[in-house]
Chain A
């Protein structure tokens, strides 16, 4: 494969050349933690025990205390239905807007005509069906995948600050993919169909290794502290990004730096119908599998020791979650580069909407992540049109401050955000 350099320049919407895809080649990927700086900001928080205080210690429960308005979380089935329906409608609206807007503005009527097949061949139809639709779908799939992985990682490390990007898993996926690319390029292995599977496979191995590494580093001494988790994630992320760059240099491919940069920031410009299938399948399989694991995921929320006492084989379950999270992350990163913070924000918002139990949380987080990334990509294509801003830049610009806010916030009586 000789990856065509993708430029970060003018968005490739083919204004006058129907049929030309926005991005003719899925480029190789390299991840430099450009937005990792926002993650590194988390390092500034002083170390400390996960739960600094015990609320009951200071105010042993008065027998009939009914303090304050009871802040309900979760709510009943009705609330869940309302939230899911609302998200589906919003997602449909955002997708429609994304199909209509861009460097070429297409009237909504024509968008619908193109989608329903009523219009004959036309430039509009090509733009809607061959350029924008796969991009919107990829955005939804990647956003959903990253959000679900974020939710699951947060349960696994019992920390709201977890995200596939911040924990270095995305970088691991990048490094793995680049390694496959460099090695495969050397022996002529990677090419055509093989690429679509070999790159994600390499990304999977890289993601799994980095997740195990970060988890192991953060857990040293038996307990998992937030500070160590974030620091380990950032450090591993930098190391693997550097490794990926080094691989590209050693392999004599400095010309790929620019595209590698674009890719490291995360972008959906490479979306095509034939690159969409794998992420979609993996999303469906991954979310399906994780939904069946909703109960053990809930058990993780109370800690591994308690989960064990409640009957969970925690070591085995953790391994299964590692594999699933790495798989989904790897495939998403292979398709879109390292888009950060969607996996941080969407699960948090979903928890506020429907509570912590995963049977409700995961679908809502997935829809929220899909909506967030579709909207972010719409903004990326239109804010500075015809410039195509890497979507990861926008998610970092919103997600970074969100991370900092989350870090400082004390959500409960325990101040247990970390």
Chain B
């Protein structure tokens, strides 16, 4: 089991000295208003941004010292959508996840294809394996990208708004799936109730800084949500699961501060 520790991680003005720990096997959520630095933080972890200060340590190894390939063997990410315009089949797209474990000239072996097939079965897409990826629906694409992360065989999974653009059923499916993978997970979420239900702990970001972190029950309080998001809420335990559930006080549009939408 892998542990992620961020020490003073900074990226210009967008991320300022963030300390954060994801303990082995934990699923940790990042919440915060738009522009609070969630995506920047994740990108610094999965390696498409180089932090201007601080470190992201995976079991003590600085992720940026690792280089793309060694990093990709240990950290996988599920993007919101894959932008491929060329018609890779779903199976071909998923098989790309084996790349960090291959020399660049090596093709896919039978074992790789089996892995891809198994991952597709696990996300429920076995029937669509030979379809061109661009013809899939949003939910199917998201699941295909989860399958690609699976065949990457990562210790840490980083997800940026994995539920964006999904209908509610697929939001629940994807998050439940992520929790069963046995990986250490760090994910940015907009939906506070999903964060409350699926995360072991939650960190709150505001303007590039960590405001607080803790269990959902500790973090999701009316006072904090008022302070960070500027909204009036009630937080009650879910009647069946007991997880903290946020109810919003709806306001007339006139008085609304657009920055907190």
Supposing A70-B130, A298-B96, A311-B69 touch, asked if A303 and B82 sit within 8 A by C-beta, the answer is yes
Are B134 and A414 within 8 A (Cβ)? yes
Q: Closest residue of chain B to A60, judged by CB? A: B167
Q: Which residues of B contact A158 (CB under 8 A)?
A: 83-86
Q: How far is the CB of A190 from chain B (nearest CB, A)?
A: 38
Q: How far is the CB of A159 from chain B (nearest CB, A)?
A: 8
- CA A296 – CA B107 in complex, angstroms? 11
Q: Which of A160, A302, A412 contacts B135 (CB 8 A)?
A: A412
Are A57 and B165 within 8 A (Cβ)? yes
Supposing A292-B105, A295-B99, A298-B96 touch, asked if A413 and B82 sit within 8 A by C-beta, the answer is no
**Interface bracket on A:** 35 or more
Mask for A46-66, Cβ within 8 A of B = 1, else 0?
Answer: 000011001111011111011
A309 contacts B by Cβ under 8 Å: yes
Main secondary structure of the interface of A (DSSP, over half): loop
Which residues in chain A, 279-316, are within 8 Å of chain B measured between CB atoms?
292-296, 298-299, 301-303, 305-306, 308-314
- CA A375 – CA B104 in complex, angstroms? 36
Are A74 and B137 within 8 A (Cβ)? no
Are B137 and A308 within 8 A (Cβ)? no
B161 contacts A by Cβ under 8 Å: no
Q: Which residues of A contact B69 (CB under 8 A)?
A: 311-313
Q: Closest residue of chain A to B79, judged by CB? A: A306
- CA A310 – CA B153 in complex, angstroms? 11
A389 contacts B by Cβ under 8 Å: no
Which residues in chain B, 35-79, are within 8 Å of chain A measured between CB atoms?
46-48, 67-69, 71-73, 75-77, 79
A18 contacts B by Cβ under 8 Å: no
- CA A135 – CA B70 in complex, angstroms? 49
Listed residue (B86, B96, B138, B142) with the most chain A CB atoms within 10 angstroms of its CB: B86
- CA A21 – CA B197 in complex, angstroms? 80
Listed residue (A50, A160, A356) with the most chain B CB atoms within 10 angstroms of its CB: A356
Are A412 and B48 within 8 A (Cβ)? no
Mask for B157-173, Cβ within 8 A of A = 1, else 0?
Answer: 00000000111011000
- CA A62 – CA B169 in complex, angstroms? 9
B201 contacts A by Cβ under 8 Å: no
Are A298 and B88 within 8 A (Cβ)? yes
A351 contacts B by Cβ under 8 Å: yes
B122 contacts A by Cβ under 8 Å: no
Are A60 and B134 within 8 A (Cβ)? no
Q: How far is the CB of A109 from chain B (nearest CB, A)?
A: 44
B196 contacts A by Cβ under 8 Å: no
Q: How far is the CB of A63 from chain B (nearest CB, A)?
A: 7
A88 contacts B by Cβ under 8 Å: no
B208 contacts A by Cβ under 8 Å: no
Q: Closest residue of chain B to A414, judged by CB? A: B134
Are B137 and A59 within 8 A (Cβ)? yes
Q: Closest residue of chain B to A296, judged by CB? A: B104
Listed residue (B99, B105, B137) with the most chain A CB atoms within 10 angstroms of its CB: B137
- CA A203 – CA B169 in complex, angstroms? 58
Are A356 and B87 within 8 A (Cβ)? yes
Q: How far is the CB of B188 from chain A (nearest CB, A)?
A: 15
B5 contacts A by Cβ under 8 Å: no
Q: Which residues of B contact A312 (CB under 8 A)?
A: 68-69, 99
Besides A60-B170, A158-B83, A314-B68, 5 other A-B contacts (C-beta < 8 A): A55-B134, A60-B139, A62-B137, A72-B131, A159-B85
Residues of A bordering B, CB below 8 Å: 50-51, 54-57, 59-63, 65-66, 68, 70-74, 154-155, 158-160, 292-296, 298-299, 301-303, 305-306, 308-314, 351, 355-357, 359, 411-414, 416-417
Listed from nearest, the 8 A-B pairs whose CB atoms lie closest are: A56-B138, A61-B137, A61-B139, A311-B72, A311-B100, A60-B167, A412-B134, A292-B105
